[in-house]
Amino acid sequence: MGKSKKRSRTSKARLNPISGRPDVRNAAKDNALVTKRIQPLLKQLESAIANDRHMSLSSVSVLCEDTHMRSLFLREKLVQIILKKLITDDNTEIVVESYGLLRNITLEEGYDISTHLWRSDIWTSIIDGFNKIENSLNALNDTNNKSSKESKSLLFDFTDNLLSLVVALANGSDKILDELLSEDKLTNIFKILTYLLQFGIDKIPLKLLNTILDLIYDFSSESFQFIESVSNHDYLSKFVSQLPNMIQENEKNQASQQFNELTKVLVQGIYIQFLDMNLTIEQTNSIIHGICTSIDSIDIKQVFHDLSSKTDDEELIKAKDSTVAEKIKDYTKRRSSAMMRVQSIEIAIDLLTAVIELLAALYEEQKHTKNKDSLPDDLIVTLAEFLPHAFMALSENFTPRILIVWNNLLWLYITVGINIFDLNNEPYKQLWSFLTDISTDLTNHEITSIKMGKESVIWALLKTGTLQPEPAKVLEYFNLINNVDFVNTYIKEFESFQAETAEDTIEYKQRILGVLSTYALYQGQIEVNRVIGQFFMNLLIKKDLHAVLTVEIINSLFEIYGDKNFDYDEDVFVKDDFLRLLQEQIVPNVRLIFKLVDKNRDPQLKERCNETFNNLDSFIHYKMNERS
């Protein structure tokens, strides 16, 4: 059963954020910025005066929230300065804030920074920090301890920054995640979590509790091994099992520390992960509504207003030293609160995506084991009426995630027999309008993510259209009746698209093939079918076509031209001599492409290649005799 993902692990798909040549037009401006603003701040980080170092670090932390400014700081060796100087500073506030800045940079920059920190032995520094936290917690439990409010606050901030840095490192690299899941490192993580929770949930700040929950959710969403390890841990297994009751008691008793949206949605996430194979179809309806209720009170407009109200760099430069700290503090507080709510919504969408996927698997299992092909009435209402409305409300600000969850919902509809074209309020019209209005004025990775989601949804909608009594009506609404321009646009996109990684390029091209192959199935569109069919044939003749795409195209041909009664079969497959092309040019080329797949490196792909090639041979023989 699939695990939900807390966030898309975009870090793996990013290029080195500090490599590459800057735009010539902006080079002079950047050089001036580095000279006048960045280098003085970095120099001040090494000042002998602690207050100067702290002021500079606070300014750097704010400025690094801007992508371009962050890249300039990284180019000037900011991370190296933090590692060599700041995390071992004599001033506790500087140490705490330094780990927070490392955490933020790691979350934003992903793989390269995560790998650099790991190779720089950041884990040793983290373990040293854990030991200090344990000693401090023991001291706080001493009845004679008279620690100030400020020192406690620093301790909890330090703990929060260290734990969230661990999460950021795990999100940045699968290899680092695997190492963190090793027995010795997991023991260290479990030890500090247990220390904190036994110290008292009511004694630690809500932000720190959320970070603990975030770590458990994040690791459990990536690893069954982690779930098993927690389940076998005497203390943590009990803590996890009691989480739903903890939320209910908090609301019921109106505790002094009320849980916020993030607490509630993280608990929902952990609950789903640890339910594992015990999840039932009947439970999914209450889980879906529980997830949505967790974020229902969030004012999205206000959240994004707070995120857009950045402290102006010029204002900071001109501000007096006595007011800079207060400005930064106010800005950080508002932004932190807004980011917490954004994270809550992101996780909620990810959870809905996972629950819908799990529901599809449960439904298929139910059909095969119980011979039952129906869903509870209240769940059908949730799927058909509640979720489409909720998704459209979130679509503008959370486009990549909403596209993914829409994709899962549409394929679930097909699986369980819900027809989106028959639903009240005609959500397919809103969805199509949303798809056509999507902006691509984004960063390279955001464009790739959104394009993948968009084509996935279009593919699912077209597939649903083929199942209608009158498929042409669907095409008419989408303005796709004999739309060769639509096809040519996709062909051009397929030929020109290049993502930041080969993996993303192949994945996106698979979606294009899905859209085209499904569009080719519609009857009454002979010219559309011809253009798509010829494009597929031309691709299969190419020597450098990736084996994954080769498999996809060949399997599409089986579906498109599998029946002589399709109205385009004779006009296209027969008259355009596709059979001869398959026999004389495509089979030899495909044999060579598949032969180059290493069964030791990729046994699953090799198996798919062998199966596809055998099916291709059978298909050719079938088409040879189909009209005899």
- Which tens digit of pLDDT belongs to each residue from 62-115? 888 888 889 888 998 999 999 998 999 989 999 999 999 999 999 999 899 999
Report CA-CA distances (Å) from 424 to 201, 413, 463.
Answer: 46, 14, 20
Q: Which CATH superfamily is domain 10-347 in?
A: Leucine-rich Repeat Variant (1.25.10.10)
pLDDT at res. 423: 94
Q: Where in the chain is the domain with CATH 1.25.40?
A: 482-628
Distance, in Å, from the CA atom of 544 to the CA atom of 424, rounded to the nearest integer, reads: 48
pLDDT in tens, 133-157: 999 998 887 766 666 788 889 999 9
The band of 398, judged by pLDDT with boundaries at 50, 70 and 90, is: very high
Which residue type, as a one-letter code, is found at position 540? Answer: L
Residue 90, classed as helix, strand or coil, is: coil
Residue 177: both structure tokens together? 């995640």
pLDDT in tens, 546-578: 999 999 999 999 999 999 999 999 999 999 999
Report the Cα 354 to chain-centroid distance in Å. 12
pLDDT at res. 29: 80
Distance, in Å, from the CA atom of 275 to the CA atom of 44, rounded to the nearest integer, reads: 51
If you compute the radius of gyration of the chain from its CA atoms, what whole number of angstroms results? 28
Distance, in Å, from the CA atom of 547 to the CA atom of 91, rounded to the nearest integer, reads: 57
What contacts 79, CB < 8 A, 6 or more positions away?
Answer: 102, 105, 113, 116, 117
Q: Please state, rounded to an integer, the average pLDDT across all residues of the chain.
A: 88
Domain 482-628, CATH number (from 1.25.40, 1.10.10, 1.10.8, 1.10.3470): 1.25.40
pLDDT at res. 192: 96
pLDDT at res. 13: 31
The band of 440, judged by pLDDT with boundaries at 50, 70 and 90, is: low
Residue 175, classed as helix, strand or coil, is: helix
Vertex 463: Cα angle to 365 and 612 (nearest 5): 70
pLDDT in tens, 95-108: 999 999 999 999 99
Q: Where in the chain is the domain with CATH 1.25.10.10?
A: 10-347
Q: Is the pLDDT of residue 262 over 60?
A: yes
pLDDT in tens, 182-237: 999 999 999 999 999 999 998 999 999 999 999 999 999 999 999 999 999 999 99
Predicted structure pTM score: 0.86
DSSP label of 398: S
Mean pLDDT of the 342-353 span = 95
Residue corresponding to tokens 């930041």 = 500
Mean pLDDT of the 44-67 span = 88
